[in-house]
């Protein structure tokens, strides 16, 4: 993505060289981050107190079996050699074999990745679709100190809702919509119905948080000199808000939105466990409890790379929306 953007920019001429530099810098940062992540995932098992195989198989397992498993996993090699092997396997897409199911970890992950990504993306879409109009509306209605009371009430309600973590939101929603009203299924993943509660639980908090940020940013932008210029041009209020103010407010919103999306990815872990959702989040918790370290390692890697990719997309989107941010050293 960055490379393509950089290549395109290079064709435009030397004036756009900043794009090439931005692309290279961003790609460099991604490579370093992935390396740190991979190394951390590798070390995770090796800094564990005690023997991971012994821990996994339990105290009653015979020594011979433990030895055999250690040998098979290469745990008796020197650390640097294990690291080299680990990197080599990663390059070929080999994440090892699950200790509990005996299946290759990458199969376990690929079977479950889709439903997690689906949930996270849907929730993010809902959060954005709700928050931007909501934040804008709150700003427009309450500008110039009008409607102080309702503005205060809305803001306070927003703060409270945004404080409620997604898993408590889920419990509350299940209680109301599944237990009391009986409208929606309490758990599982089958049909449109079953998506509503998990996605809402994930989206509501971030939606209110984002709406607040949109509001704060919009109020700041509306103070800017160029908004006064737009008013001096006697543009319609809608043009001033939507064309001049909102895009400038969204750059800052997007930065924080990216962080929220990262948090939302982490939130899937809890939500999947509440709704018995067959995704990576339920897998990682089961694996941690079952001490199935190769699976844990693999899922941590996938989650980590997911977060890094989100950050990359946010940075590129920011650069497109506000080209100055590409030139500034971020």
Partner 1 sequence: MRKPLAITAAALMVLVLGLALVAPLIWQDRAAAVDSAAILQGPSSAHPVGTDLLGRDILARVLVATRLSVGLALLATGIGVAAGLLLGTAPTLLGRRAGRWITAVINIAVAFPTLLLALFFAVVFGVGAKGAVLAIGFATAPGFARLTQTMAATVANRDFIAAARVSGVGRVRILLRHVLPNIAEPLVVSATAAAGSAVLAFASLSFLGLGVQAPSYDWGRLLGEGLAQIYIHPAGALAAGVAVVLAAMAFNLTGEAVARAIGLRSDTGGPPPADPAPATEVPVTERSAENLLEFANLRVSFPAAGGEVTPVRGVSLTLRTGEAVGIVGESGSGKSLTALAIARLIEPPGRVQADRLDFLGADLRESTGSPEGRGQDAAREHRKLLGTSLAMVFQDPMTSLNPTHKVGRQLAEVAREHQKADRRTAWRRAVDRLAAVRIPDAGRRARQLPHEFSGGMRQRAMIGMGIMASPRLIIADEPTTALDVTVQRQVLELLAKVRAAEQAGLLFISHDVTVVSQVCDRVLVMYAGRIVEDLPTGSLLADARHPYTRALVAAVPDMTTDRNRPLAVIPGRPPDPHALPTGCAYAPRCPLATDRCRHEDPPLTAYAEGRRVACWHADLTPAGQAQTAHLGGEAP
Note the residues at the interface with partner 1 (CB under 8 A). Answer: 32-33, 36-37, 40, 44, 47-49, 144-146, 148-149, 152, 160, 163-165, 167-168, 171-172, 174-175, 179, 186, 224-226, 228-236, 239, 244, 247-248, 251, 262-263, 265-267, 269-270, 273-274, 284-285, 288-289, 293, 296, 300, 303-304, 307-308, 311, 321-324
CB of 11 to partner 1, least distance (A): 16
Among residues 4 and 179, whose Cβ is nearest to partner 1? 179
* Minimal distance, residue 64 CB to partner 1, in Å: 26
Nearer to partner 1, 97 or 264 (CB): 264
- Report the C-alpha gap between 131 and 93 in whole angstroms: 38
C-beta of 297: minimal distance to partner 1 in Å?
A: 9
Q: For residue 23, what are its two tokens?
A: 């692309």
Q: CB of residue 226 vs partner 1: minimum separation in angstroms?
A: 4
The CB-of-109 to partner 1 minimum distance in angstroms stands at 15
The SS3 assignment for 147 reads: coil
Cα separation of 4 and 40, whole Å?
30
Cβ closer to partner 1: 97 or 170?
170
Least CB distance from residue 301 to partner 1, whole Å? Answer: 10
Q: Residue 44 CA to chain centroid, in angstroms?
A: 21
Residue 55 in contact with residue 75, Cβ under 8 Å? no
Contact predicate 198/178, CB 8 Å: no
Cα(109)–Cα(192) distance, integer angstroms: 23
Nearer to partner 1, 130 or 288 (CB): 288
Question: Residue 202 contacts by C-beta under 8 Å, 6 or more apart in sequence?
Answer: 119, 120, 123, 127, 166, 264, 267, 268, 271
Contact 97, 105 (CB under 8 A): yes
Q: Which is nearer to partner 1, 24 or 239 (CB)?
A: 239
| Residue with smaller CB distance to partner 1, 207 or 272 | 272
What is the number of residues in the chain? Answer: 330
At its nearest, how many Å lie between partner 1 and the CB of residue 97?
18
Residue 104's SS3 state is: strand
Q: How far apart are CA 185 and CA 191, in angstroms?
A: 10
Decide whether 33 or 101 has the Cβ nearer to partner 1: 33
d(CA 314, CA 206): 16
């Amino acid at each position: 993505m960055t490379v393509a953007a950089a290549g395109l920019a290079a064709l435009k001429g030397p004036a756009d060289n900043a794009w090439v530099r931005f692309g290279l810098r961003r790609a460099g940062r991604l490579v370093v981050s992935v390396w740190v992540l991979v190394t951390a995932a590798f070390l995770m098992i090796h800094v564990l107190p005690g023997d991971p195989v012994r821990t996994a198989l339990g105290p009653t397992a015979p020594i011979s079996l433990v030895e055999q498993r250690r040998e098979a996993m290469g745990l008796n090699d020197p650390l640097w050699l294990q690291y080299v092997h680990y990197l080599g396997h990663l390059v070929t897409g080999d994440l090892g074999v699950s200790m509990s199911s005996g299946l290759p970890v990458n199969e376990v992950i690929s079977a479950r990745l889709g439903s997690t990504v689906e949930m996270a993306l849907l929730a993010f879409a809902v959060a954005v679709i709700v928050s931007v109009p909501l934040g804008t509306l709150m700003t427009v209605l309450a500008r110039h100190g009008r409607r102080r009371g309702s503005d205060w009430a809305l803001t306070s309600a927003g703060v409270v809702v945004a404080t409620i973590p997604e898993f408590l939101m889920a419990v509350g929603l299940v209680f109301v919509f599944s237990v009391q009203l009986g409208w929606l299924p309490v758990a599982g993943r089958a049909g449109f119905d079953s998506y509503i509660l998990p996605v809402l639980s994930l989206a509501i908090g971030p939606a209110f948080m984002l709406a607040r940020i949109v509001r704060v940013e919009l109020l700041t932008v509306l103070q800017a000199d160029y908004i006064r210029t737009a008013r001096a041009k006697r543009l319609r209020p809608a043009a001033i808000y939507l064309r001049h103010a909102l895009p400038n407010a969204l750059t800052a919103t997007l930065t924080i939105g990216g962080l929220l999306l990262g948090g939302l990815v982490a939130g899937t872990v809890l939500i999947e466990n509440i709704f018995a959702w067959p995704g990576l989040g339920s897998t990682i918790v089961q694996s941690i409890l079952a001490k199935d370290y190769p699976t844990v390692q693999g899922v941590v890697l996938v989650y980590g790379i997911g977060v890094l990719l989100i950050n990359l997309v946010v940075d590129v989107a920011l650069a497109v929306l506000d080209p100055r941010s590409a030139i500034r050293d971020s």
